[in-house]
Structure 1
């Protein structure tokens, strides 16, 4: 088992501790994944912050998984006294949208986080690779955008690339 420890603290947008609302940090695997000799599946990893808002989560490392892009989603749940049902207070939830790659050594959550990936595909037409990262799955047609239909233009290689995240 190759695990690493992720650390951090959970606070309100105003920087305050909100443990009085019984928050829970949920690390949800992006899907079942394969490791060199294991299959990883099962329930979310749920972590309750300490009284000072700090947390420690021991998670299976994603850099040892064979599935490209293996990560955890981070979801925050808390008791919401403003919503009441027949069983008592309701629960509020935020999906951060960020993805956590758990790398060797673990460390602060921000050091293991990557921003949400856009959920769309895009084709960039350019003689050189795009200088802005448009997200995994974006495609790049190596061609001259001002002269795409000219087969004699050497910039029109016809090579079609698919961009991906690099480690």
Structure 2
């Protein structure tokens, strides 16, 4: 079912894919589909989100510039591997479920980093202030997703260049 949804999403705008199309492609009933997902968009979002969390999770806990580069490379490689799906999920921005998955995964990774590396907390932020740390991680996650949304429209799609640009645009406190 997941493979069928990803295949369809790579070939057509994600929001136009119907449950019936996924069921036909997967050889399942509508009942089976709805036992696992509320919609094709949500099915694709969950599938990509799980894959992304696994790819980025290999780099936890992040420590230092090289670890950030490796995690960023995993993020961009994941997007490049599914670029047709992500491009077909774009309006001005990614569809909300896909964008939320990216932000949530990146936020969780950065928040873990701040917890494990308090020396990386930016000046002016109290390392014991949980709300402030969430704001810092959310700000960086949303910015990274915005960069990815722009990057997927570059030709040729170059993971190394994308990593270099996003890392260059990132505040140095992350790498402390």
Identify, as 1 or 2, the structure richer in helix. 2
TM-score, normalised to structure 2's length? Answer: 0.22
TM-score, normalised to structure 1's length? Answer: 0.23
Identify, as 1 or 2, the structure richer in strand. 1
Which structure has the larger Rg? 1
